[in-house]
């Protein structure tokens, strides 16, 4: 495993925002590249424990629109995050790379791969937010005009990183995370403010907007049919009730793809890469070596 060390953080212009990405470089110019795209409400540094498993690769973890160190206002169209990720792929001149996307990041990776078919040789999507066709046929929005997703009410301000850690470490679903992953989520997910203290780097409004605009993700279904890149779709437990721990992924997604592989993991929640990053890295390694 790679010795624990901080990555190099770089910034590029992507669309109308400044997009940040964190890079663990490789001294071997022929080393493969692993691109990591995160889930809504999180950031690229949540996957440090996965990056540590690939000392033989160049690993790049992006902070998506309005998350981590990337700028960006709340949005209502997921096409924007897809276009910004595509801008990063172009900037990095990726060819034959491996991509790992989690949740919203998995959605964006799949659609970006459809736009840039030569960028990747394999994809691993952990519970991508690509819902069943029936969901996208619903014409009535999930929220009434003026109503916001509950995420908009999240606590925004913290006196210290330690306050955030203490507040959330025993709460669902954070108590599922491996301790080092949870601590990274807190330490790298806060931004200092001028008058002291910290605030969430991904604002409550940003997170809520992503959830509320999920109906805009319908193009992912068409994109899936066009992505010939070998793709492993890792689906977590299915839950009847509306719960973030359950898988949002359409069970037929992999079958709709030319080279899709469905991996059902009912022993894991939607937070699989945070619960067991070693297992997630193993799955990525298998796809990388295939």
* Residue 68 structure tokens: 């981590």
SS (H, E, C) the chain: CCCCCCCEEEEEEECCEEEEEEEECCCCCCCCEEEEECCCCCCHHHHHHHHCCCCCCEEEEEECCCCCCCCCCCCCCCHHHHHHHHHHHHHHCCCCEEEEEECHHHHHHHHHHHHCCCCEEEEEEECCCCCCHHHHCCCCCCCCCCCCCHHHHCCCEECCHHHHHHHHCCCCCHHHCCHHHHHHHHHCCEEECCCCCEEECCCHHHHHHHHHCHHHHCHHHHHHHHCCCCEEEEECCCCCCCCCCCCCCCCCCHHHCCCEEEEECCCCCCCHHHHCHHHHHHHHHHHHHC
Would 88 be classed as within a structural domain? Answer: yes
Would 168 be classed as within a structural domain? Answer: no
pLDDT in tens, 122-156: 999 999 999 999 988 865 555 555 667 888 899 99
CB 49 within 8 A of CB 181: yes
CB 84 within 8 A of CB 19: yes
219 band by pLDDT with thresholds 50, 70 and 90: very high
Please state, as a whole number, how many other Cβ atoms lie within 10 Å of the Cβ of residue 253.
Answer: 23
pLDDT the model gives residue 144: 56
| Separation between Cα atoms, residue 27 and residue 55, nearest integer Å | 10
pLDDT the model gives residue 6: 86
Residue 110 phi/psi, 5-degree rounding, is: -60, -45
Q: What is the mean pLDDT of residues 275-290?
A: 97
CATH of the domain at 41: 3.40.50.1820
More confident residue, 70 or 5: 70
Would 257 be classed as within a structural domain? Answer: yes
pLDDT the model gives residue 240: 76
pLDDT value at 89 more than 60:
yes
Give the strand pairing for 97-102 and 58-63. unpaired
- Find the domain containing 60 and state its range: 8-148+214-289
Q: What is the mean pLDDT of residues 226-240?
A: 95
pLDDT the model gives residue 135: 87
pLDDT the model gives residue 161: 97
Give the strand pairing for 17-24 and 8-14. antiparallel
**Total domains in the fold of the chain:** 1
pLDDT the model gives residue 141: 55
- If you average pLDDT over every residue of the chain, what do you get? 94
The length of the chain is: 290
Residue 232 phi/psi, 5-degree rounding, is: -100, 120
pLDDT the model gives residue 95: 97
pLDDT the model gives residue 186: 98
Would 165 be classed as within a structural domain? Answer: no
Edge-to-edge strand ranges of the sheet holding 17-24: 8-14, 17-24, 58-63, 33-37, 97-102, 120-126, 231-235, 260-264
pLDDT value at 3 more than 80:
no
pLDDT value at 2 more than 60:
no
72-97 burial code (b ≥16 CB/10 A, e <16): bebbeebebbbbbbbbbbeebebeeb
| Separation between Cα atoms, residue 191 and residue 161, nearest integer Å | 10
pLDDT value at 179 more than 70:
yes
Would 250 be classed as within a structural domain? Answer: yes
pLDDT in tens, 46-57: 999 999 999 999
pLDDT value at 72 more than 70:
yes
Would 48 be classed as within a structural domain? Answer: yes
pLDDT in tens, 247-280: 999 999 999 999 999 999 999 999 999 999 999 9
143-147, 167-171, 282-286: which has the minimum mean pLDDT?
A: 143-147
4 band by pLDDT with thresholds 50, 70 and 90: low
Would 82 be classed as within a structural domain? Answer: yes
pLDDT the model gives residue 251: 97
Would 173 be classed as within a structural domain? Answer: no
pLDDT the model gives residue 139: 57
């Amino acid at each position: 495993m790679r010795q624990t060390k901080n990555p190099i953080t770089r910034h590029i212009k992507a669309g109308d925002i400044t997009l940040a990405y964190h890079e663990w470089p490789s001294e071997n110019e022929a080393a493969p590249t692993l691109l990591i795209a995160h889930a809504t409400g999180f950031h690229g540094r949540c996957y440090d424990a996965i990056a540590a498993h690939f000392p033989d690769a160049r690993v790049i973890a992006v902070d998506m629109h309005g998350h981590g160190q990337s700028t960006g206002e709340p949005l209502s169209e997921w096409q924007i995050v897809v276009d910004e990720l595509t801008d990063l792929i172009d900037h990095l001149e990726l060819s034959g790379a491996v991509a790992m996307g989690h949740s919203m990041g998995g959605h964006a990776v799949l659609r970006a791969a459809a736009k840039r078919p030569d960028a990747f040789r394999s994809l691993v999507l952990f519970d991508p937010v690509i819902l069943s066709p029936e969901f996208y046929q619903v014409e009535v929005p999930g929220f009434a005009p003026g109503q916001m997703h509950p995420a908009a009410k999240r606590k925004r301000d913290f006196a210290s990183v330690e306050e955030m850690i203490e507040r959330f470490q025993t709460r669902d679903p954070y108590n599922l995370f491996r301790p080092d992953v949870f601590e990274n989520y807190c330490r790298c997910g806060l931004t200092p403010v001028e008058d002291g203290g910290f605030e969430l780097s991904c604002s409550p409004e940003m997170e809520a907007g992503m959830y509320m605009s999920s109906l805009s993700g319908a193009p992912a279904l068409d994109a899936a049919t066009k992505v010939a890149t070998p793709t492993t779709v890792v689906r977590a437990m299915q839950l009847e009730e509306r719960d973030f721990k359950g898988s949002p992924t359409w069970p037929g997604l992999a079958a709709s793809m030319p080279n899709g592989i469905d991996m059902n993991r009912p022993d894991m929640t939607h937070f699989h890469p945070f619960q067991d990053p070693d297992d997630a890295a193993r799955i990525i390694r298998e796809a990388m070596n295939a």
